Every structure is written in C-alpha cells, then in structure tokens.
C-alpha cells in the first residue's frame, strides 16, 4: 500500500508498484492462461473453418483479396487472424496496403511506438481504422525526418487553411497526442517554431538502460532532472578506460573528418579488445550525424566524431546529443576538441560530467 514516503519521495513512488499483491498477480496470470486454453479449444473445435479463414487472412496481409469480396467477409478474416495472433506489427508505409479496405474503427487498438519520430499525417489512416489509440514516444529524442522543403509545407498549409503547428516538420504524433493529455508536465525545449518548452503527457520517468554518467547527462540536458534512475545493478564494469572525453586538438581535417580523432578511436578499441570479453562487433556502437565521419570511423573502426563546421547545428537542441549519449549502457567516449565543443550549449554539461583525457598524437 502507498505510504507517506510514497507521496513525498519521487524515487520511491516512481520505482514502486502500488497495490501490487502476489495473490492478485498469480490470479491474473491464471485467468490469462485459462483464456489461452479457451482459444485453443475453440480453434480445435472449428479447425476447418478457421483454417479457411486464416488462408483468407494471408491473402489480406499480401493485399491479394479480390475487390469483389464483401467488406464484411474481409473483416471476418482479419478477426480470425487476431484471435490467433493478438498483435500484428507493421509500418506506416505498409499500413494502407495491408489494412486499406478496413473501415473506421475496424481495429480494436492501435499502438504507435517511437511516436516522436512520426509525423501526424503518417498516423491518420491507422487512427481512423482503430477504436482506440495508444501513443508512446519521446519528443526530446529523434524527430520526424521530412524531405519536403519548409517553403512547400507552408504553401500547402496556406492552400488548405492549415496552421503551421500542423506542418509535418513542426510536430510529431507524440506532440499532437500530448496536447490532448490532461496529465503531464512542462519540460524546457527549443522547438522549431521558437517555443521554449514542451508539454509531455503522462511521462514515464524511470530510466532503466544507462549507467552514470550517461543517465545524469541526459537527465540534465533534456529532462530538467525529472528522470529517476532505475537501471538495475549490473555489477562493476571492469573494462577500462572508463567513460571520458578524449581531447584531440589536431588542426588537420578533411571536411568533417579529422584523421587524428580516428586514430584516437582506434586506440580506445584496441584497449577494450586487449582486455578480452568485449565483442567489438556487437558491444560497441559508433554514432555520428555526418556521413563523412561515419565513413572515416568505419575505416578507423567506429566512434562519436562530429566535425567542426556543424557544431552550432549539432548543439542547437538537446535531441541529437540526448539520443547519442543515452545509447551507451556502460561506457561513453567522446572524441574531439574539448575546448571548442564545451562552448556549445548542452555540451557544457557533457564536458562537466566526463573527465578529460589528453590525446597524444
């Protein structure tokens, strides 16, 4: 039962499951298993009919149902599939081909994951076909990628009388859903329209992926220190070097790519490899927003290496840095000119949290 501490201590409240009871949880599991038994019995008793319906459902999935088939028959085929397979995953790009002939509210539930990366226009068809929609995402991580120029978006908006707040490059499915949420909080953010804060509906505040300093950095630059650290204790991570900023001050550069940073990256990977136990192919990830740096890092063997000329862009909003930092579970290495980068917004926090290691060419 919630105690007084539960009401006043954020960490205790967010990390607890109020009214959790072992007997109730066991009973819930038994009801679920009994429901599966009921489904199995139904399928056994109607095997021939269900087989025919499922074959029809396969035709529906591949969009090969003749247009002469009545809509009610098509919906029955889908219902048979969902009886057997409760959740079907698809992309927005495929949704109109797979579910194109289903009418309004034909689907019970639509779950939109990574909704911070999707434009509102992408979700309309799915939401129209669903009785209920659950939207899950983070407006402070990766944003929608829209290739249509902003001038064209504005022109289309004026033509159809639609405000700029609905433009695909100005908002995401997550932000649109958050507008309708009664419960939430304001977080500081710089949106493309100049807004200085964003409303986050029903925020899930517990973070369970990263160790420090990654958690502390993301919490400071993107979430106004509202996140609660819930990463389980995974024991001491014995591999060295520890998370640090590898300070490379070489003036030689080929566009965004700085060869000396590539050599520093290679040395870090060699140290991890020589200790044994680190799978460089599966345990180590390299993140950069620039293709030239990715190509150079592939040659040198991977890293986080933004180049000089785009510093202001990479630091204009917390999203990119937040995504990059929070990908790392146990170790984070930043390679670059620390003195120059730490002058940029948000990178000050990164520099404060990571000890500096001076790279000797």
- Structure confidence by residue, pLDDT tens digits, 132-188: 999 999 988 888 889 999 999 999 999 999 988 899 988 899 999 999 999 999 988
Distance CA(213)–CA(219), nearest Å, equals: 10
**38 vs 234, which has greater pLDDT?**
38
The third-level CATH classification (topology) of the domain covering 214-220+226-358 is Rossmann fold (3.40.50)
Distance CA(215)–CA(229), nearest Å, equals: 7
Q: Please give the pLDDT value at position 308.
A: 43
**210 vs 359, which has greater pLDDT?**
210
The pTM of this model reads 0.81
pLDDT in tens, 13-31: 888 887 778 899 999 999 9
Give yes or no for residue 195 having a pLDDT over 60.
yes
Phi, psi (deg, nearest 5) at residue 201: -85, 135
Q: What is the CA radius of gyration of the chain?
A: 25
85 DSSP assignment: -
Q: Where are the beta strands (DSSP E) in 170-285?
A: 184-188, 197-201, 206-207, 228-229, 244-247
Mean pLDDT of 119-126: 93
Name the residue among 272, 103, 115 with its Cα closest to residue 179.
115
215 DSSP assignment: H
In the structure, what pLDDT confidence band is assigned to residue 305 with cuts at 50, 70 and 90?
very low
Percent of the chain residues past pLDDT 90, beyond the cut: 48
Give yes or no for residue 309 having a pLDDT over 50.
no
Structural domain boundaries in the chain: 4-205, 214-220+226-358
DSSP 3-state percent helix, strand, coil across the chain (nearest 5): 45, 10, 45
pLDDT in tens, 37-94: 999 999 999 999 999 999 999 998 888 888 899 888 998 999 999 999 889 999 998 8
Q: Are 158 and 211 in contact (CB under 8 A)?
A: no
Mean pLDDT of 96-115: 91
- For the chain, the average pLDDT equals 87
Q: Please give the pLDDT value at position 302.
A: 47
pLDDT in tens, 321-344: 898 899 899 999 999 899 988 888
Question: How many Cβ atoms are within 10 Å of 229's Cβ, its own excluded?
Answer: 16
Distance CA(12)–CA(70), nearest Å, equals: 55
In the structure, what pLDDT confidence band is assigned to residue 125 with cuts at 50, 70 and 90?
very high
Question: How many Cβ atoms are within 10 Å of 284's Cβ, its own excluded?
Answer: 18
Mean pLDDT of 234-241: 80
Q: Please give the pLDDT value at position 192.
A: 62
């Amino acid at each position: 039962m919630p105690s007084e501490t539960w009401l006043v201590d954020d960490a205790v409240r967010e990390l607890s499951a109020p009214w959790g009871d072992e007997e109730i949880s066991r009973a819930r599991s038994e009801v679920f298993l009994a429901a599966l038994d009921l489904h199995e019995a139904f399928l056994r008793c109607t095997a021939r009919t269900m087989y025919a319906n499922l074959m029809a459902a396969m035709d529906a999935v591949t969009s090969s149902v003749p247009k002469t088939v009545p809509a009610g028959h098509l919906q029955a085929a889908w219902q048979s599939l969902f009886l057997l397979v409760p959740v079907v995953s698809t992309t927005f790009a495929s949704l109109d081909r797979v579910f194109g002939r289903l009418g309004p509210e034909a689907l019970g539930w639509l779950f939109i994951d990574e909704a911070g990366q999707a434009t509102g226009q992408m979700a309309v068809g799915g939401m129209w076909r669903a009785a209920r929609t659950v939207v899950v995402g983070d407006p402070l991580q990766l944003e929608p990628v829209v290739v249509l120029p902003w001038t064209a978006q504005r022109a289309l908006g004026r033509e159809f009388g639609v405000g700029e707040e609905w433009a695909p490059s100005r908002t995401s499915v997550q932000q649109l859903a958050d507008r309708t949420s009664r419960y939430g909080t304001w977080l500081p953010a710089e949106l493309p329209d100049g807004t200085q804060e964003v409303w986050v509906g029903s925020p899930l505040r517990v973070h369970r992926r990263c160790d420090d300093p990654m958690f502390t950095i993301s919490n400071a630059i993107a979430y106004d220190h509202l996140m609660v650290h819930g990463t389980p204790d995974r024991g001491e991570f014995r591999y060295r070097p520890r998370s640090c900023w590898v300070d490379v001050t070489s003036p030689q550069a080929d566009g965004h790519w700085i060869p000396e940073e590539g050599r520093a990256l290679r040395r870090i990977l060699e140290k991890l490899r020589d200790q044994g136990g680190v799978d460089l192919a599966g345990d180590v990830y390299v993140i950069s927003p620039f293709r030239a740096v990715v190509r150079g890092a592939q040659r040198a063997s991977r890293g986080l290496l933004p180049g000089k000329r785009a510093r202001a862009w990479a630091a204009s909003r917390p999203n990119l840095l937040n995504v990059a930092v929070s990908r790392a579970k146990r170790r984070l290495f930043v390679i670059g000119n620390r003195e120059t980068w730490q002058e940029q917004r948000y990178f000050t926090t990164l520099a404060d949290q990571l000890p500096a290691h001076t790279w000797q060419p």
